[in-house]
Amino acid sequence: MKKLGVVLCGLGFGAAFAPIYCAHPDVAFTGLFDPDTARMKEVAQTLGIKRLYGSFQEVLQDGEVDAVHLVTPIPAHEEQAAAVLESGRHCACTVPMALTLSGIRQIARAREKSGKIYMLMETTLYTRQYLNARRMLDAGELGRVQLLRGVHYQDMENWPEYWLGLPPMYYATHAMSPIAAMAGARIERVMCYGSGSMRPALRTRYGNPYPAESALLHFENGLCGEVTRTLFETARTYLEGFYVYGSRASLEWGFKDSDDLTLTRLEGAPHRGFATPSENLRSPAVFANLPEEIRRFTLAQGQYDPTQPEKSLTEGAPGGHHGSHPHLVHEFVRSIVEQRQPAIGFDFACNVSAAGILAHASALAGGKEIEIPRF
Ligand SMILES: NC(=O)c1ccc[n+]([C@@H]2O[C@H](COP(=O)([O-])OP(=O)(O)OC[C@H]3O[C@@H](n4cnc5c(N)ncnc54)[C@H](O)[C@@H]3O)[C@@H](O)[C@H]2O)c1
């Protein structure tokens, strides 16, 4: 299989992925596009990237490009993802997938027509915390899952204009995805309430009155998940968290945006069982499945020591979004090389994205229960 030509579009947060593509052994070249040419040149210069584009159309007309990774402003995702797929390229897209159901349908049609891969680059599904929780769940250590919760608190005051007043559930993917993945079933129905009040200027762009929203998800296998999201005028430092309560043990992550999971195990015979005091559970670094060339990107800058690679990878502080970035790149690239669907499957991406969009619709309708369509 030939090596891939990949172009990164959008170099704010997106710039974090450029050195990873440059180092990946299956990537022949990394190209860049950002309408902010000064920014594009700055990133290109740091990494010695020569392939720069003058427009998004130019990217899609380059016959040597196999895949495009979009890290562009949220309102552009649906049109751009569909255009990438229609041009016959594989597409990775940062979250959220889309802001409308028609946007999801547009992407689904383009994907079906082209037969190319679409991967939602959901960071929370590759954090150390999630990967370790997933391992324990798959090994049966939690027993039967009984209840799930997900939270994401982040204040987007003074972020680019397109954020202002965004309905919290339109960007609920970091709270919803880990619990949807651990539930192991599609979200069938959602109901949601909005909460609080915001100054009028924040209510105009999206017609959204709520700074905070809380939803209940009903999964097809009968499980229930709670999701809470705040976006504006709510005094809370950044926090992503998931809570999975099992019949044998429970894991909670989301008191502080720190490294530790909190583990509580049930001990003794089930009918007289009692829970042990909760303990902090370190989440070991996860890097062994990655090619050596990109393992260092699981760490924060300056933490990798090439003279003691194993030690620094194991003990060093994790990089952005808890070490998830190289895992996302590797999964996207390998799914193309191996001609298979990525681990974050298309149906899953559509399901969590639609659940967020419809959760907000439910909040506007006073908490009405809404079915999630299939795409
Ligand atoms: N954990 C995560 O998964 C995570 C974290 C941060 C941001 N994001 C997502 O990443 C995206 C970008 O976030 P950001 O904070 O960098 O946003 P930003 O608005 O600060 O930066 C976006 C960049 O894209 C460029 N851009 C604008 N229009 C473009 C176009 N048509 N084509 C190519 N580039 C274009 C801008 O010039 C800018 O450099 C958002 O969609 C956000 O939701 C995800």
Q: Is 325 inside a domain boundary?
A: no
In the three-class reduction of DSSP (H, G, I as helix; E, B as strand; rest coil), residue 148 is classed as: strand
- Do 30 and 130 share a structural domain? no
Q: Is 327 inside a domain boundary?
A: no
Residue after which a domain boundary falls, among 78, 97, 116: 116
- Cα of 99 from ligand 1 centre, angstroms: 15
Please give all residues whose beta carbon lies within 6 A of any atom in ligand 1, as ranges.
9-13, 33-36, 39, 56, 71-74, 76, 94-95, 123, 160, 321
List Cα–Cα distances, 320 to 15, 97, 299, in angstroms: 12, 20, 8
- Cα of 71 from ligand 1 centre, angstroms: 5
Q: What is the pLDDT of residue 208?
A: 98
Q: Is 253 inside a domain boundary?
A: yes
Rounded Cα distance, 285 and 331, in Å: 17
- Looking at ligand 1, which atom is closest to the CA of residue 11? 39
- Cα of 173 from ligand 1 centre, angstroms: 16
Q: Is 345 inside a domain boundary?
A: no
List Cα–Cα distances, 60 to 37, 77, 83, 214, in angstroms: 18, 15, 8, 39
Closest CA to 230 of 215, 209, 212: 212
pLDDT digits (tens, 9 = 90+) for 38-63: 999 999 999 999 999 999 999 999 99
- Looking at ligand 1, which atom is closest to the CA of residue 36? 37
Closest C-alpha to ligand 1, atom 2: 123
Closest CA to 315 of 329, 331, 304, 326: 304
Strands 239-246 and 187-195: unpaired
Closest C-alpha to ligand 1, atom 41: 74
Given a cut of 50, the residues of the chain with pLDDT beneath it are none
Q: Is 331 inside a domain boundary?
A: no
Residue after which a domain boundary falls, among 63, 97, 116: 116
Closest C-alpha to ligand 1, atom 34: 10
Q: What is the pLDDT of residue 90?
A: 98
Sort 274 into a burial class: Cβ within 10 Å, 0-12 / 13-18 / 19+: exposed
- Do 186 and 111 share a structural domain? no
Q: Position of tokens 């970035």?
A: 325
- Looking at ligand 1, which atom is closest to the CA of residue 34? 34
CA geometry: angle 93, 95, 98, nearest 5 deg: 85
Q: What residue numbers bound the domain in which 101 lies?
A: 4-116
Cβ atoms 242, 178 nearer than 8 A: yes
Residue after which a domain boundary falls, among 98, 116, 134: 116
- Looking at ligand 1, which atom is closest to the CA of residue 56? 32
Residue 152 pairs with which residues in a beta bridge?
A: 229, 240
- Do 97 and 36 share a structural domain? yes
Number of structural domains, the chain?
3
- Do 133 and 9 share a structural domain? no
Q: What single string gives the DSSP state of each residue in 153-217?
A: E---TTS-GGGTT--GGGG-HHHHHHHHHHHTS-EEEEEEEEES---GGGGTTT----SEEEEEE
- Cα of 206 from ligand 1 centre, angstroms: 19
Q: What is the pLDDT of residue 271?
A: 63
Instruction: List the CATH number of the domain containing 164.
Output: 3.30.360.10
- Cα of 126 from ligand 1 centre, angstroms: 20
Is pTM beyond 0.85? Reply is: yes
Q: What is the pLDDT of residue 349?
A: 98
Q: Is 70 inside a domain boundary?
A: yes
Phi-psi region of 93 (alpha: psi -120 to 50; beta: other; left: phi over 0): beta
Rounded CA Rg of the chain: 21
- Do 162 and 92 share a structural domain? no
Residue of 32, 57, 72 best suited for mutating to test ligand 1, as the one with most atoms within 8 Å of CB: 72
Q: How many other CB atoms are there within 10 angstroms of residue 38's CB atom? A: 7
Closest C-alpha to ligand 1, atom 13: 13
Q: Is 336 inside a domain boundary?
A: no
- Do 195 and 241 share a structural domain? yes
- Do 283 and 191 share a structural domain? yes
- Do 304 and 181 share a structural domain? no
Q: Is 39 inside a domain boundary?
A: yes
Closest C-alpha to ligand 1, atom 25: 10
- Looking at ligand 1, which atom is closest to the CA of residue 124? 1
Cα of 160 vs its chain's centroid, Å: 20
Closest C-alpha to ligand 1, atom 20: 12
- Do 86 and 18 share a structural domain? yes
- Do 306 and 269 share a structural domain? no
Q: What single string gives the DSSP state of each residue in 18-81?
A: HHHHHH-TTEEEEEEE-S-HHHHHHHHHHHT---B-SSHHHHHH-TT--EEEE---GGGHHHHH
Residue of 7, 9, 11, 13 best suited for mutating to test ligand 1, as the one with most atoms within 8 Å of CB: 13
Cβ atoms 29, 48 nearer than 8 A: no
- Do 166 and 234 share a structural domain? yes
List Cα–Cα distances, 91 to 82, 165, 199, 319, in angstroms: 9, 28, 37, 24
- Cα of 267 from ligand 1 centre, angstroms: 47
- Do 81 and 41 share a structural domain? yes
Q: What is the pLDDT of residue 270?
A: 61
Closest CA to 45 of 76, 15, 69: 15
Instruction: List the CATH number of the domain containing 28.
Output: 3.40.50.720
Q: How many other CB atoms are there within 10 angstroms of residue 357's CB atom? A: 23
